[in-house]
C-alpha cells in the first residue's frame, strides 16, 4: 500500500516541479496543498491532542449551567 502512495506522490511532485518552470507561484501553492494532504500520513495525531479533555469538561459545565439541550440526559429505564 505504501509503494503506490509513494509513487503517486512522486508523480505529483515531479509534475509540480515541471510546472514550476513556467508558473512558479502555482507550483508552490500545489506543493503546499500536497504537503498538507500527506502530512497526516507521516505524523498522525491522537484524538486527545486535537480535542483535549479539559476543554470538553469546560464545555459540559457551561452547558449544564445554561440548561442547554445538549447536556447529557439520564438513560431511560426499560419498562417491565
**Domain-by-domain residue ranges, the chain?**
2-66
**Are the C-beta atoms of residues 63 and 71 closer than 8 Å to each other?**
yes
User: What is the reported pTM?
Assistant: 0.43
Cell of 69: 439541550
Write out pLDDT tens, residues 22-74: 888 888 888 888 888 888 777 766 655 555 555 556 556 655 655 555 555 55
Note the pLDDT of residue 59. Answer: 59
Note the pLDDT of residue 3. Answer: 72
More confidently predicted of 44 and 1: 44
Amino acid at each position: 500500500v505504501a509503494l503506490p502512495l509513494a509513487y503517486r506522490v512522486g508523480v505529483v511532485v515531479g509534475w509540480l516541479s515541471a510546472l514550476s518552470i513556467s508558473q512558479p507561484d502555482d507550483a508552490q501553492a500545489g506543493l503546499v496543498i500536497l504537503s498538507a494532504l500527506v502530512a497526516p500520513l507521516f505524523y498522525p495525531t491522537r484524538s486527545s491532542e486535537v480535542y483535549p479533555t479539559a476543554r470538553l469538561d469546560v464545555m459540559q459545565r457551561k452547558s449544564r449551567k445554561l440548561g442547554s439541550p445538549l447536556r447529557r440526559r439520564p438513560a431511560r429505564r426499560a419498562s417491565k
